[in-house]
Amino acid sequence: MIRRLLRRLLPAPQPAPAPVSIPVPEPVLANVSPRDVGLHDAVLDGWFLNDSGELLKGFAITADDTLLDVGCGEGAATLFAVRQGASVIFTDSEHEKVRDLGRQVEAQSAKPNLGLVSNSLPLPLADGCASKVVCMEVLEHIEQPEPFMAELVRMGRPGALYLLSVPAPVGEHLQQGIAPASYYQSPNHVQIFTAQRFAALVEDAGLVIEHRQATGFFWVMGMIFFWASERAAGRDLSGAVRDRIHAPYPPLMESWARTWQDLLVQPGGLEIKQILDGFMPKSQVIIARKPLNDGRLP
């Protein structure tokens, strides 16, 4: 099942899923990477629903949309939107990511699209330029998230839908016992959002929350095993970390991925996953709506 999914999707960013109606997984595959299992875990939780065009359940993208992906990274959200026929605007602070993603977008889309290298305020985009706005695992890197959030709201049209995610505090605090100090310094995680603070940030910016979820136990444990493996190997853990985790993975991470995949096919495995996701989530997600000019919701 995982290999079939990977033929349809690019590698996904660290996900932020929630309990939904989920299919029965197929048997364990012997040679799967942590990233493969993380993608499988995300799909089970409602991400990348090709049949309905939903990037996440409740966040549908159509050919009539213009999607703005702020902090696009490898571009999983942008490319999903391209496959739905939408126009895309994607921004990142790293030139190489924008360049590489731009090449993929150009190869797959004949619509007007725009890639920008930027991490400054204000962002160089017009008011109301997007009908769908995505900003995932970005706000925790921002020294002043309130004006940044205001920028996101400015760029959404009246009635625009927003998909936002940040790390959940339980996983962040747990990693403080093993991650390097640089993980919590610029350009890495300089903010830790409680659920209350995250919701207040969104609502104070003028958006109305439609859906919330917090999951990703697999990745919390995966990160802990990653830090332990790096420390045991005596590797330098300084500098930016968001691109550090890639193949070849530490053997401990690969063993954990096999264990998690095996859990999912056991009787009651999916229910156990949901309990653990709620107990120790990696990320928290909000889907929110920008009101119309008269204050009503679409």
pLDDT tens profile 41-96: 999 999 999 999 999 999 999 999 999 999 999 999 999 999 999 999 999 999 99
Please check whether residue 270 is in contact with residue 264, taking contact to mean a CB–CB distance below 8 angstroms: yes
pLDDT number for residue 77? 97
Determine the Cα–Cα distance for residues 32 and 253; give it in Å rounded to an integer: 11
CATH number at residue 179: 3.40.50.150
Residue (of 200, 199, 174, 201) closest to 189 by Cα position: 174
Residue 11 is assigned to a structural domain of this protein: no
Q: What is the pLDDT of residue 206?
A: 97
* In a domain? residue 17: no
- Note whether residue 294 is domain-resident: no
Tokens of 65: 């949309």
If phi over 0 gives left and psi between -120 and 50 gives alpha, with beta otherwise, what is residue 137?
left
Residue 267 located in a structural domain: yes
d(CA 34, CA 256): 8
Residue 18 maps to a domain:
no
**What is the DSSP code (8-state) at residue 140?**
G
- Backbone dihedral angles phi then psi of residue 201, each to the nearest 5 degrees: -60, -45
Cβ–Cβ under 8 Å, residues 101 and 90:
yes
**pLDDT at residue 110 above 60?**
yes
Average pLDDT of 185-194?
92
Whether 26 is in a domain gets the answer no
What's the CA gap between 280 and 221, in Å, rounded?
9
Range of 269's domain?
2-6+33-289
pLDDT digits (tens, 9 = 90+) for 249-297: 899 999 999 999 999 999 999 999 999 999 999 999 999 999 998 788 8
Q: Does 178 reside within a domain?
A: yes
Q: Per mean pLDDT, which range of 48-52, 85-89, 168-172, 186-190 is the poorest?
A: 186-190
Which token pair is 14?
């660290």
Helices (H) and strands (E) in the chain, counts: 10, 10
d(CA 169, CA 192): 6
Is 95 domain-assigned?
yes
Whether residue 210 is predicted with pLDDT greater than 90 in this model: the reply is: yes
- Position 118 scores a pLDDT of 87
Domain count of the fold of the chain: 1
Phi, psi angle pair for 207, to nearest 5°: -95, 160
pLDDT at 121: 79
> Per residue in 26-56, pLDDT tens?
444 456 789 899 999 999 999 999 999 999 9
